[in-house]
């Protein structure tokens, strides 16, 4: 859901760059069902403009259940905002805005420095280069929009990027006015890279609590794709620890791998036909129900941190919304917002405040 309360379409910004004094962006947006949108507009602080449509035949293959899906591509060249730019992609049908998503673009003078080496960026995200940069823009926008919506008070915010990896978020968080950035991770090499390239206080921490911070030291903790790798009991221990380091009414903004991530975690068997077919939808519904029944599925090892995390520690963890709201809200934190697919359009975004 974007700030105006519109649902998020399927879609993404595939490219975003500055050229000859303009911001160029391109991507795609489709509804979950029905026909492709009538038009797409790009909105930023200083104005709104119509995006050009781009025909992308691969969209018809990827979403055969959406009519005229190949027309879901867009391209826009817009005049930049003077300061850090939030860019909304607004999808319209019969002259009405019906869906939207957003990203941000930091003008050149705020551009967040060098990208990490490929080995590091792949370890934390499976991505490198331009794809890593763009996924960071999206992650940063989703997290920071949530922080703005739930507005922790205070002139300067102490923000902890817990599980910062090689700084996909940190490199942008540090550019915000009025943020003191602290980052930590169990991955010593990633932490060293952040400390050498990003303004902030970075520390290697242990896989189990405590953190080397005082009670109530942080106004905001962000956890981007971290709890999505920890088994249920480790999640509990860490949520209690995060509650300890949060100031009263402080915010935890965390991603959870919910139903969408669970559905996408297995390849689609060809025998079910294309997505949208009756067989395909029935299989998806069965999988959804299985996740709701289990609450959490946390047995599957993730070997990407072999040699860094203790054996068996790092996993692929999926959990139902109901489970997350119940269990994360039992650790001295209250869930104040839950946006399905609100993080990267793939994971769910959960906002919690420290209970008074
Ligand atoms: C999928 S990566 C995400 C990294 C970063 N947040 C991002 O979005 O690019 C998960 C990160 O969590 C870190 N991690 C796992 N368990 C942790 C823990 N208990 N404390 C701190 N970091 C942890 C891993 O080392 C890894 O860098």
The answer to whether 311 and 248 are in contact (CB under 8 A) is: no
Please name the residue whose Cα sits nearest to atom 9 of ligand 1. 168
Tokens of 327: 């269990």
Using a 6 Å CB cutoff, which residues line ligand 1?
124-125, 139, 162-165, 168-169, 184-187, 190, 205, 207, 224-226, 229, 305
Q: Cα(347)–Cα(274) distance, rounded to whole angstroms?
A: 23
Q: Would you call 169 exposed, middle or buried from its count of C-beta atoms within 10 A (0-12, 13-18, 19+)?
A: buried
pLDDT value at position 1?
A: 43
Each residue's pLDDT expressed in tens, for the chain with a length of 356 residues: 455 678 888 888 888 877 887 888 899 999 988 899 999 999 988 888 999 999 998 898 888 888 999 999 999 998 877 766 788 999 999 989 999 988 877 665 556 688 999 999 999 889 998 888 888 888 888 898 888 888 776 679 999 999 999 999 999 899 888 899 999 999 999 999 999 999 999 999 999 999 999 999 999 999 999 999 999 999 999 999 999 999 999 999 999 999 989 988 887 777 777 666 788 778 888 999 999 999 999 999 999 999 999 999 999 999 999 999 999 998 899 999 998 888 887 899 999 999 88
Residue 6 has what pLDDT? 86
- Alpha helices for 23-112 (secondary structure H): 57-62
In contact, 253 and 195? CB cutoff 8 Å: no
Minimum-distance ligand 1 atom for the alpha carbon of 184: 21
Residue of 186, 192, 228, 233 with the most ligand 1 atoms within 8 Å of its CB, for mutation: 186
The pLDDT value given to residue 149? 83
With a CB cutoff of 8 Å and minimum separation 6, the contacts of 262 are: 287, 288, 291, 297, 318
| pLDDT at residue 111 in the model | 63
State how far the Cα of 104 lies from the Cα of 287, in Å rounded to an integer: 34
pTM, whole model, 2 decimals?
0.88
The residue whose C-alpha atom lies closest to atom 2 belonging to ligand 1 is 124
Which pLDDT belongs to residue 235? 98
- Nearest-CA neighbor of 202 among 212, 191, 211? 191
How much distance in Å is there from the Cα of 43 to the middle of ligand 1?
33
pLDDT of residue 81: 76
Say if residues 164 and 193 touch (Cβ distance below 8 Å).
no
CA of 325 to the centre of ligand 1 (A): 22
The sheet that has 47-50: what strands, in order across it? 47-50, 39-44, 85-93, 96-105
- Which residues 6+ apart lie within 8 Å of 279 measured at CB? 271, 272, 273
Q: What pLDDT does 73 receive? A: 96
Ligand 1 atom nearest to 139, measured from its CA: 8
Under DSSP, the state recorded for 168 is T
For ligand 1, atom 4, the nearest C-alpha belongs to: 165
pLDDT at 271: 74
Cα 296 vs. chain centroid, distance in angstroms?
20
pLDDT recorded at residue 16: 81
Question: 185 CA to middle of ligand 1, Å?
Answer: 6
By most ligand atoms within 8 Å of CB, the mutation choice from 124, 222, 301, 310 for ligand 1 is 124
Report the distance separating Cα 99 and Cα 136, nearest Å.
22
Nearest CA to ligand 1 atom 14: 163
CB-hemisphere CA count at 13 Å for 60? 8
Q: Would you state the pLDDT for residue 108?
A: 56
- Whose CA is closest to atom 23 on ligand 1? 163
Q: How far is the CA of 103 from the centre of ligand 1 (A)?
A: 23
Check residue 201 and give its pLDDT: 98
Across 256-289, b (16+ Cβ under 10 Å) vs e yields bbbbbbbbeeeeeeeeeeeeeeeebeebbeebbe
Q: How far is the CA of 98 from the centre of ligand 1 (A)?
A: 35
């Amino acid at each position: 859901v974007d700030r105006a309360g519109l649902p998020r379409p399927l879609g993404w910004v595939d490219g975003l760059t500055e050229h000859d004094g303009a911001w160029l962006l391109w991507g795609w947006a489709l509804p979950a069902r029905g026909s492709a949108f009538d038009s797409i507009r790009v909105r930023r602080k200083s104005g709104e403009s119509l995006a050009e449509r781009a025909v992308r035949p691969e969209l018809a293959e990827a979403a055969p259940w959406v009519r005229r899906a190949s027309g879901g591509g867009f391209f826009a060249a817009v005049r930049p905002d003077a300061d850090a730019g939030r860019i909304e992609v607004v999808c319209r049908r019969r002259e009405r805005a019906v869906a939207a998503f957003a990203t941000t673009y930091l003008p050149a003078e705020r551009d967040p420095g060098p990208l990490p080496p490929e080995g590091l960026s792949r370890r934390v995200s499976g991505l490198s280069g331009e794809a890593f940069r763009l996924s960071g823009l999206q992650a940063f926008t989703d997290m920071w929009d949530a922080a703005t919506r739930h507005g922790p008070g205070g002139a300067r915010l102490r923000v902890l990027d817990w599980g910062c990896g090689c700084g996909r978020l940190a490199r942008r968080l540090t550019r915000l006015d009025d943020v003191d950035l602290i980052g930590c991770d169990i991955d010593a090499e990633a932490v060293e890279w952040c400390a050498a390239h990003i303004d902030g206080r970075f520390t290697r921490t242990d896989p189990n609590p405590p953190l080397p911070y005082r009670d109530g030291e942080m106004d905001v903790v962000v956890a981007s794709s971290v709890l999505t790798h920890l088994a249920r009991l480790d999640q509990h221990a860490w949520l209690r620890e995060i509650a300890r380091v949060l100031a009263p009414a402080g915010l935890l903004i965390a991603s959870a791998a919910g139903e969408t991530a669970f559905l996408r975690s297995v390849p689609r068997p060809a025998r079910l036909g294309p997505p949208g077919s009756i067989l395909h939808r029935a299989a998806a519904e069965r999988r959804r129900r299985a996740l709701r029944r289990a609450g959490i599925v946390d047995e599957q090892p993730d070997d990407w941190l072999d040699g860094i995390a203790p054996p068996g520690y790092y996993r692929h963890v999926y959990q139902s919304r109901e489970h997350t709201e119940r269990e994360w809200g039992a650790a001295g934190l209250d869930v104040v917002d839950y946006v399905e697919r609100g993080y990267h359009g793939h994971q769910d975004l959960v906002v919690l405040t420290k209970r008074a």
